[in-house]
Amino acid sequence: MATSNDIVAATKGQEELSVLISEREIFDQCGPVHLTAIDWENVAHQRSVAASLVQGVYILERDKQEKRKGSQALAPPWWRHFQFELYRVLIDDVDSCIFGAIYKFAPSKSYFGGSKDKSQRFVIAFRGTLTKGDAFSRDIQLDIHILRNGLHQTSRFETAIQAVRHVVATFGSSSIWLTGHSLGAAMAMLAGKTMAKTGVFLDAFLFNPPFLSAPIERIKDQKVKHGIRFATSVITAGLAFAAKHKNVNNQSGDTFVALSAWTPCLYVNPSDPICAEYIGYFEHREKMDTMGAGVIEKLATQHSLGGLVLNFMGKECDEPLHLIPSANLTVNLTPPSDFKGAHGIHQWWKPDLLVESKKHQFT
């Protein structure tokens, strides 16, 4: 017969387990269970699948941290529900954490969901920063590298781009997706830009990608906001023009034009300061065109003001990650409850999501 001490110990163990397992880690409680058949031409389905596979990477690392194996592992349902299997995990060589995964589409014989022939065969997904466990300190280091435009110099990105190149070389580029959230979105964007510079344009689904600039989008007064953006564009265009004629070392313009054919899908929330600037970045380009100042803006949008200043001072400055010429921009118009709601990956697979999408093409 169980003693009172046994009962207390068992109750305490259950409480500790419930603390370790978040509801958002359990697919049946938080995932897009409403998607029982995937239409691969449906953009909402594409978004939900891509976001779920990124969540799978988060849970893979959490399973590893909590030593959840076999039937206790919570990650597999996040890809198995969509008929994917885990092809390979990507491990950081510094702290041995799982930061990415390659999934292979492997439908069962009874699979009849949507357009099977047009479904993606491989998805390469990258998670964002984990605030729990041993991976936190390494993730923060990578976040700092993003701030310094130095993500491409890290060993984690080297592992990531080697994996991308391997899949492209082995299976071709036509049926490969890149996807990621936050830090992972930056990783996927950099990988996509790197491949695009070689003429390989991969479909990319980037959730809450970091945009590093002054938080102009948070200014409520539209005239003030537009005035700041206009002044910044004029100054940036002027410096870019001067740099070109003084032969100052700056290759941003050439790189920018070369990337114009690549059109990643960006998913941003206006209440998330980490990614909200993408909204103003693309809106301002259209306003400048309407004002007849498109030439100024086309020159300004290819360059970073800070980078130009450093180049004039004789200092090397790497290309900012957020400078992209074209994108399919999707904005979540559903008011979030807090910052976690605005920045979290879980918002992107909700069935009642209210979004506004627009394609921005640089010509």
31-87: per-residue pLDDT in tens?
Answer: 999 999 899 999 999 999 999 999 999 999 999 999 999 999 999 999 999 999 999
Q: How far apart are CA 184 and CA 180, in angstroms?
A: 4
Q: Which two tokens stand for residue 92?
A: 């950081």
CA distance 203 to 146: 22
What are the Cα distances from residue 13, in Å, to 21, 71, 83, 207?
12, 19, 34, 36
Q: Under a CB-based contact definition with an 8 Å cutoff, are residues 311 and 249 in contact? A: yes
**Is the full-model pTM beyond 0.85?**
no
- Residue 214 — pLDDT band, cuts 50, 70, 90? low
- Between residues 313 and 174, which one has the greater pLDDT? 174
What's the mean per-residue pLDDT of the chain? 80
Higher pLDDT among residues 101 and 320, named by residue: 101
Does any domain span residue 134? yes
Query: Shortest CA distance to 44 belongs to which of 97, 108, 114?
Result: 114
* CA–CA separation, 90 and 101 (whole Å): 5
Q: Does residue 301 form part of some domain? A: no
Confidence category of residue 219, pLDDT binned at 50, 70, 90: low
Cα–Cα distance measured from residue 146 to residue 254, given in angstroms and rounded to the nearest whole number: 22
Asked if residue 100 belongs to a domain, the reply is yes
- Please compute, for residue 142, the number of CA atoms within 13 A of its CA located in the half-sphere on the CB side: 28
* Number of structural domains found in the chain: 1
Q: Which residue has the higher pLDDT, 345 or 251?
A: 345
C-alpha dihedral (92, 126, 169, 256), degrees to nearest 10:
-110
- Please choose, from the candidates 78, 72, 33, the residue with its C-alpha nearest in 3D space to the C-alpha of residue 56: 78
Query: Is residue 117 a part of any domain in this protein?
Result: yes
Whole-angstrom distance, CA of residue 295 vs CA of residue 363:
11
* DSSP 3-state of 68: coil
Does 12 fall in a domain? Answer: no
Distances (CA, A) of 240 to 231, 287, 316: 14, 20, 15
Structure tokens at 137: 């300190």
Classify the C-alpha dihedral 250-254-256-259 as positive or negative.
negative
The token pair at 236 is 């940036």
**Quick check: is 312 in a domain?**
no
The reply to whether 342 falls in a domain is no
Average pLDDT (109-122) is: 60
Alpha helix positions (H), 21-153: 27-30, 43-65, 77-80, 135-147
Residue 55 lies in domain: 23-207
Q: What are phi and psi of 178, to 5 degrees?
A: -110, 140
Q: How confident is the model at residue 196 (pLDDT cuts 50, 70, 90)?
A: very high
Is it the case that residue 341 has pLDDT exceeding 70? Answer: yes
Are the CB atoms for 240 and 308 separated by under 8 Å? Answer: yes
Spatial separation of the C-alpha atoms in residues 334 and 269, rounded to whole Å: 9
Q: Which helix (H) or strand (E) holds 91?
A: strand 84-91
In a domain, 327, yes or no: no
